[in-house]
Amino acid sequence: MRDAKPLLLLDVDGPLNPFAAKPHRRPEGYETHRLKPDCWVAQHVGVPEHLVKPLRVWLNPSHGAALQKLPFDLVWATTWEHDANEWIGWRIGLPRKENLPVIEFGSQFVTRSDGTYVKTWRVVEYAAGRPFAWVDDQIGDVDRAYVAKHHHGPALLHHVDPARGLTDDDFALLTDWAAGLTSKENTDAHRS
């Protein structure tokens, strides 16, 4: 496990799809897609699929290459679940033939009484002590406290502005954080 890269847990809506940007002002570098993934159709109970209006999604086709350059193992941590591989990954420039692992939330995606975001406990369970960075637009202080208490390894919970999506500053922060892990491991190895 010492040689394993840290995990980068990716949310779609917010970090990769800056959905909160002004409706008619697509952020620079993004392309507009009209999609009807299963997770979207399922939200329209009782509506025939052909009557479900497609979801507008803004995606930046350069994000895939930028994500692949990071020193992380990429994992989807999104309510899109497996739909992220089918509908999002290749549109941001990730290889079509390589599906990322997916954290499944399923029926366990319910409101938590402790105030943590509904994904947080599942993210900690998935990471299982492995170092991870998580980019999401719903992360708050209560989630950071939960991770600090229940995750026995380094973790970075990084809030991404859903009106801007991932920026160069976010990529730099992720790179620096991962480099800090490597430095610490090298220092610890020299002490042994």
Instruction: Give residue-wise pLDDT tens across range 9-47.
Output: 999 999 999 999 997 888 999 999 999 988 888 889 999
Write down the pTM of the prediction. Answer: 0.89
Q: What is the band of 186 on the pLDDT scale with cuts at 50, 70, 90?
A: very low
Q: What are phi and psi of 59, to 5 degrees?
A: -135, 145
Give per-residue pLDDT as tens, 58-72: 999 999 999 999 999
Kindly state the tokens that stand for 70: 């990071």
Give per-residue pLDDT as tens, 89-144: 999 999 988 899 999 987 665 566 676 788 988 999 999 999 999 999 999 999 99
Question: Contact, 177 vs 133, CB < 8 A?
Answer: yes
Report d(CA 96, CA 149) in Å as an integer: 37
Kindly state the tokens that stand for 62: 């350069």
Report d(CA 146, CA 3) in Å as an integer: 26
